[in-house]
Structure 1
Amino acid sequence: MSSTVLFNLLRVGRSSITRQTFLAARGALFGVVGVRHAGGSVRFDSDGSCRPVTWDSFGIWDNRIEEPILLPSSIKYGKPIPQVSLSRVGSTSALGLRKQNEDRLRVSRIHDNLLYFAVFDGHGGPHAADYCFTFMEKFIRDALEDEDDLEKVLKKAFLDVDAALHTHLNSVLKAGTTATVAMLRDGVELVVGSVGDSRALLCRKGRATKLTKDHTPDREDEKQRIKKFGGFVTWNSLGQANVNGRLAMTRSIGDFHLKTSGVIAEPDTRRLSHNSDSFLALTTDGINFLLSDQEICDVIKQCQDPTEAADVITQQASQYGSEDNATIIIIPLGAWGKHKNSSAVYSMSRNFASSGRWA
């Protein structure tokens, strides 16, 4: 394939091609010569360093699922970028032993090159989580009209949805929600924003990388802000810290009765380049209070697909004693299926330790 043909593909709006087409096109455009070795792997100079790089080092769904390659971003970053298909994203939201499910999750495509994933864990009723489920994406779209920096976009969207929620709730001022939002641009740029204790983790080379920090009153920096605003921190009989004896988190959307005590809606954000990662997972505390980040990573790695993995994770949390709503989104990335491990071991002691949390 000539460079002229390659640019014509871009001109007519084709955003993805197959792996084989990309390799041929990339060779034509950059003068890269591919060498096929006896083992079948294609090696080529990916960055001008003259060092051989295998396709497998970028992760291609463990060679089991043929996904199209994002052509514009692959050219931009100089390496093949597998497309993340929303149809392969797995998610589950389980009721647990609660009377109603106050968790919400959302998966969507904001633009051709920008994906959106979010979990919201409501408290004091589902009102705040429902509102964020419905409108967070709108506020992100609005912010994108004036700003390209995704971290700034998320910070503005969180604060704007919080302000709009105040008007919407009227008298239901004790309703609130966590919010953990991830956006993936060009299949490479990953930005996460979070308030509360819902989490985002990335599985990289088989190890869990936590992308968020829980906003809890036992964190010294968060506790100092609460005290500065005139609030106070107490501990219940289970040793759990609470703001003014009422809320187990220091940041949330909603909870307007505690805004004057230092509870804020400004998210912590993080930006990183997704490279050869296996998957991204967003979870609510009905899961992450019972399972460590690495345990979540290990359980998911045993599963054949993200949908199965989401179901298994919520079942595992229930077996470990979770009575709370349990919600998870699993986004398979380029190295899905590469890193397997032995089965996780059930922890009876953890089951007993967690039994009183949701009493």
Structure 2
Amino acid sequence: MEETRGISDPENGSSSYGGLPPNPLSFSSSSSAAVAAVYRQSFDGERSLAPCNKRSLVRHQSLVKTKVSDISVENEFTLEKNKSEFVPSMRSGAWSDIGSRSSMEDAFLCVDNFMDSFGLQNSEAGPSAFYGVFDGHGGKHAADFACHHIPRYIVGDQEFPSEINKVMSSAFLQTDTAFLEACSLDGSLASGTTALAAILFGRSLVVANAGDCRAVLSRQGKAIEMSRDHKPMSSKERRRIEASGGYVYDGYLNGQLNVARALGDFHMEGMKKKKDGSDGGPLIAEPELMTTKLTEEDEFLIIGCDGVWDVFMSQNAIDFARRRLQEHNDPLMCSKELVEEAIKRKSGDNVTAVVVCLQPQPPPNLVAPRLRVQRSFSAEGLKDLQSFLDGLGD
């Protein structure tokens, strides 16, 4: 990822792999073959892949309608052949800024046509998309690595897309293992990252999260959280941490890390191994998954790193983005405005936001129903009225 104060700004930091792993920042129908070629290359033994695209501006087939049709995949992703059934029309945009930090450690990925970008085909045309945000710490290598490898492991799984939940969990864990192997070859890669990936097939949205990035869906203007922040102070995470031999001190996992789940961080003693050296430490890379069936009430999805959510509550972000989309209906501009507003609100971190519109039209104005007010006289009012009427008869 690059500092985004200027579109041609140089990349912050450098990789000892000479640009590996890359952080692909833009995809389009015209570059699908190139995208697929980059992701099909094996990481093992290679010292150079295509360099990171030096752009912070991402627009993916913006304002282009997705063809409404059926897709032919198994189980919960099979759409009934019903033309009246809602099918999302995918448009996305992303923006990232270094914020108040000295270096950029975030990475993101937007692919509005996931199957086609990786050379995969369904028997029927239909919407498929992948979106991810990766918030690095202790360096950017883990975030770039996860950005490159998670979608690669997903499409390479033999059970994709029929067992998507299992496939996404496996992709996170395989990426974590692969990064351990990379770090064992080059210690300068040592770092960690939180990761959130969202996949959409037809009407099915699946979100996998490990860490404190967050995905929030706008459903008729109401914020629907599609992920849960994995903080050490969370009661569920704290119980898991303590059961695995870890502890929480001053809100930090083992007094060192302010997230309870992350990829990487193998250099941090006691994080992914118990004190006796065995596997099963308090920091895990296993994602938590949430799924939903989209309907015509669903308007857009926001995915952001914690630099966004440190200064925005979920409903606040939905309200802000909804107003902007009503003005211009452009997810790219909306993501930029979210990031700029987070910086104005004094976010103390790198800030990255992805906005995914699910409808071709902007969100409609919400008109609150007028309540029917029932009026009645008070006892004192009735007494005064009776006295007035009695007076008329005199």
TM over 0.5: yes
Q: Distance in 2 between matches of 1:66 and 1:106?
A: 19
Q: Distance in 1 between matches of 2:366 and 2:339?
A: 19
Match of 1:169 in 2: 183
Match of 1:221 in 2: 236
Q: Displacement of 1:311 after TM fit?
A: 1.1
Q: Look up the equivalent residue of 2:81 and give its one-letter code.
A: K
Q: Distance in 1 between matches of 2:200 and 2:160?
A: 19
Match of 1:264 in 2: 284
Q: Distance in 2 between matches of 1:194 and 1:289?
A: 17
- The residue correspondences of 1:1-359 to structure 2 (distance < 5 A) are 67-73=65-71, 76-82=81-87, 84-85=89-90, 88-108=91-111, 109-112=113-116, 113-145=127-159, 148-170=162-184, 171-172=187-188, 175-186=191-202, 188-235=203-250, 241-256=251-266, 257=268, 258-260=271-273, 261-276=281-296, 277-303=298-324, 304=328, 305-334=330-359, 336-340=361-365
Q: Distance in 2 between matches of 1:66 and 1:325?
A: 30
Whether contact under 8 Å (2:65, 2:360) holds in the other structure is no
Sort the Cα spacing of 1:173 and 1:229 in 2 relative to 1 into closer, same or farther, 3 A: farther
Q: Distance in 1 between matches of 2:161 and 2:133?
A: 23
Deviations 1:242-301 (A, max 9, x none): 011110011111112311231101100011111121101110000011101111101111
Q: Distance in 2 between matches of 1:105 and 1:222?
A: 26
Structure 2 residue runs without a partner (length 5+)? 1-62, 72-78, 117-126, 274-280, 368-394
Q: Distance in 2 between matches of 1:335 and 1:296?
A: 21
Q: Secondary structure at the match of 2:300?
A: strand
TM-score by length of 1: 0.71
Deviations 1:175-223 (A, max 9, x none): 110110000102x111110000000110001111001001111111211
Q: Distance in 1 between matches of 2:213 and 2:317?
A: 14
Q: Look up the equivalent residue of 1:215 and give its one-letter code.
A: H
Q: Secondary structure at the match of 2:99?
A: coil
Q: Displacement of 1:337 after TM fit?
A: 1.9
Instruction: Give % identity.
Output: 31
Q: Look up the equivalent residue of 1:167 and give its one-letter code.
A: E
Whether contact under 8 Å (1:90, 1:329) holds in the other structure is yes
Q: Look up the equivalent residue of 1:333 and give its one-letter code.
A: L
TM-score by length of 2: 0.65
Q: Secondary structure at the match of 1:201?
A: strand
Q: Displacement of 1:323 after TM fit?
A: 2.4
Q: Secondary structure at the match of 1:72?
A: coil
Q: Look up the equivalent residue of 2:183 and give its one-letter code.
A: L
Q: Displacement of 1:318 after TM fit?
A: 0.8
Q: Displacement of 1:80 after TM fit?
A: 4.5
Deviations 1:18-45 (A, max 9, x none): xxxxxxxxxxxxxxxxxxxxxxxxxxxx
Sort the Cα spacing of 1:83 and 1:270 in 2 relative to 1 into closer, same or farther, 3 A: closer
Deviations 1:106-165 (A, max 9, x none): 012331442110000000100100101111111111125566121111111011111101
Q: Distance in 2 between matches of 1:80 and 1:301?
A: 24
| Higher CA-based Rg | 2
Q: Displacement of 1:67 after TM fit?
A: 2.9
Q: Secondary structure at the match of 1:317?
A: helix
Whether contact under 8 Å (1:217, 1:249) holds in the other structure is yes
Runs (4 or more) in structure 1 with deviation over 6 Å come to none
Q: Secondary structure at the match of 2:233?
A: coil
Q: Secondary structure at the match of 1:71?
A: coil
Q: Distance in 2 between matches of 1:217 and 1:247?
A: 8
Q: Look up the equivalent residue of 2:224 and give its one-letter code.
A: T
Q: Distance in 2 between matches of 1:144 and 1:114?
A: 18
Q: Displacement of 1:68 after TM fit?
A: 4.8
Match of 1:39 in 2: none
Structure 1 residue runs without a partner (length 5+)? 1-64, 236-240, 343-359
Q: Displacement of 1:173 after TM fit?
A: 7.5
